[in-house]
């Protein structure tokens, strides 16, 4: 699935307007902002070519969110002078004060160019003829994110082959630990549960918001906050089993303490071969102190549940641990 399998880029009207401005000889000072995989580098390459064709010099900078403050401030000074072409691309996160100041200066010169995912029609336009029967599947799996559309361009059937899933390893491995945990929580269906995310990460609501923004900036997360289907498959397949299990166990414990349902969190643990033990308590007189409906649902999901007194529980856990 090489880039040659993709047809020429499909430009939005906004990108076409920028290219026309460059060709006209106008001074262009522009910020290009989008999550990873949305085509910023491709747009910059075309913009740089347009400047070259017009015989104009320009500072064209990619991945500005990774630059040190000194370089960002230097770029801002260049923008403020208003005499030179400056085009800067960056992700919406991380957003340092220096990057925010640069974005503000660029925005005063021209509204920022916010790249969007491909529509279904754009997906059809860029897929090779051999894959156009899979337009709906590719669009649904990728959310139209151009980089991921490219990775699925060689499909011949509506399924994800191992090599496509494996291509996401580089997207996941460089992420910091909290963002990886957030993506695992999203894979478990907890992407929109700020209370569970706070408990999982051990941080307050503001810090949870920062982690969510960092996760969105990867391009792996859909507009509604859930993982793109292809990203969910990759997170599940490429994350070490012990880390995935640890996150689900933590989420299940937090959910139980809040009185929420845990079946969807527990079921993958059962099916993955992990031994999951459910403990339903009796008091010293043998009276049930648990919800029989919850216990029944857990049993139905494949979790053995024992109703025990405190003394029996201690003995039973000891036997289970020694037996494992």
Per-residue pLDDT, 34: 97
Residue among 260, 295, 296 nearest 280 (CA): 295
Percent with pLDDT over 70 in the chain: 77
Q: What is the pLDDT of residues 30-40, one digit of tens each?
A: 999 999 999 99
* pLDDT higher than threshold 90 for residue 25: yes
- Distance in angstroms (rounded) separating the CA atoms of residues 258 and 263: 14
DSSP string of 1-37, one letter each residue? --GGGS-S----HHHHHHHHHHHHT---EEEEE--TT
pLDDT for position 6 = 44
pLDDT tens readout for residues 92-138: 999 999 999 999 999 999 999 999 999 999 999 889 888 889 999 99
For the ranges 78-82, 158-162, 221-225, 233-237, which has the lowest average pLDDT?
A: 221-225
Cα 56–chain centre separation: 37
- Terminal C-alpha separation, the chain: 45
For residue 224, what pLDDT band results from cuts at 50, 70 and 90? confident
Yes or no: say if 279 and 304 are a contact pair by the CB < 8 Å rule: no
Mean pLDDT of the chain: 85
Mean pLDDT calculated for residue range 163-172: 96
Express each pLDDT in 79-94 by its tens digit: 999 999 999 999 999 9
Phi (first) and psi of residue 29, to 5 degrees: -120, 115
Of 10, 18, 17, nearest to 89 by C-alpha is 18
In the structure, how many helices (H) and strands (E) does the chain have? 17, 6
The count of C-alpha atoms lying within 13 angstroms of the C-alpha of 208, restricted to the half-sphere facing its C-beta, is 17
Helix (H) or strand (E) holding 126: helix 120-126
At 234-285, the pLDDT tens digits run 999 999 988 988 898 888 888 877 766 655 665 555 555 555 555 555 555 6
Residue 29 backbone zone (phi > 0: left; psi -120 to 50: alpha; other: beta):
beta
pLDDT value of position 249? 83
Q: How far apart are CA 225 and CA 74, in angstroms?
A: 35
For 28-44, give the DSSP string: -EEEEE--TTSSHHHHH
| DSSP 8-state class, residue 249 | H
pLDDT at 197 over 90: yes
Lowest mean pLDDT among 173-182, 205-214, 286-295: 286-295
Please state, in angstroms and as integers, the Cα–Cα distance from residue 82 to each residue in 79, 85, 86, 253, following that order.
5, 8, 9, 56
d(CA 30, CA 32): 7
Q: Work out the pLDDT band at 15, boundaries 50, 70, 90.
A: very high
Assigned token pair, 180:
């990886």
Interior angle at CA 95, CA 78 and CA 182, nearest 5: 155
pLDDT in the model for residue 192: 86
Sole residue written with tokens 């920028």: 18
Of 26-30, 75-79, 235-239, 317-321, give the lowest mean pLDDT range: 317-321
Using pLDDT thresholds of 50, 70 and 90, give the confidence band for residue 4.
very low
Structure tokens at 133: 């029967």
Q: pTM (2 decimals)?
A: 0.80
């Amino acid at each position: 699935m090489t880039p040659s399998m993709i047809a020429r880029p499909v430009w939005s009207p906004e990108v076409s307007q920028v290219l026309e401005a460059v060709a006209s000889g106008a001074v262009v000072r522009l910020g290009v902002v989008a999550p990873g995989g949305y085509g910023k580098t491709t747009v910059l390459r075309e913009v740089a070519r347009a400047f070259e064709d017009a015989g104009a010099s320009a500072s064209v900078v990619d991945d500005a969110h990774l630059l040190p403050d000194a370089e960002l401030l230097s770029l801002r000074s260049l923008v403020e002078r208003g005499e030179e072409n400056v085009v800067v691309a960056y992700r919406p996160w991380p957003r340092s004060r220096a990057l925010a100041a640069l974005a503000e200066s660029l925005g005063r010169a021209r509204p920022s160019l916010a790249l969007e995912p491909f529509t279904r029609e754009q997906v059809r336009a860029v897929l090779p003829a051999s894959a156009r029967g899979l337009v709906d599947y590719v669009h649904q799996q990728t959310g139209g994110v151009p980089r991921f559309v490219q990775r699925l361009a060689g499909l011949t059937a509506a399924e994800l082959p191992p090599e496509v899933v494996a291509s996401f390893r580089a997207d996941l491995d460089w992420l910091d630990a909290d963002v990886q945990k957030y993506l695992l929580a999203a894979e478990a269906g907890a992407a929109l549960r700020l209370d569970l995310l706070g408990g999982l990460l051990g941080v307050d609501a503001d810090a949870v918001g920062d982690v969510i923004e960092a996760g969105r900036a990867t391009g792996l997360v859909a507009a509604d906050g859930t993982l793109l289907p292809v990203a969910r498959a990759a997170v599940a397949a490429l994350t070490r089993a012990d880390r995935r299990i640890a996150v689900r166990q933590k989420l299940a414990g937090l959910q139980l303490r809040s009185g929420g349902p845990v079946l969807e969190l527990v079921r993958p643990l059962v099916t993955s071969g992990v031994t999951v033990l459910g403990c339903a308590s009796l008091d010293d007189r043998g009276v049930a102190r648990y919800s029989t409906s919850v216990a029944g649902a857990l049993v139905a999901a494949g979790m053995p549940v024992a109703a025990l007194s405190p003394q029996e529980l201690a003995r039973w856990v000891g036997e289970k641990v020694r037996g494992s």
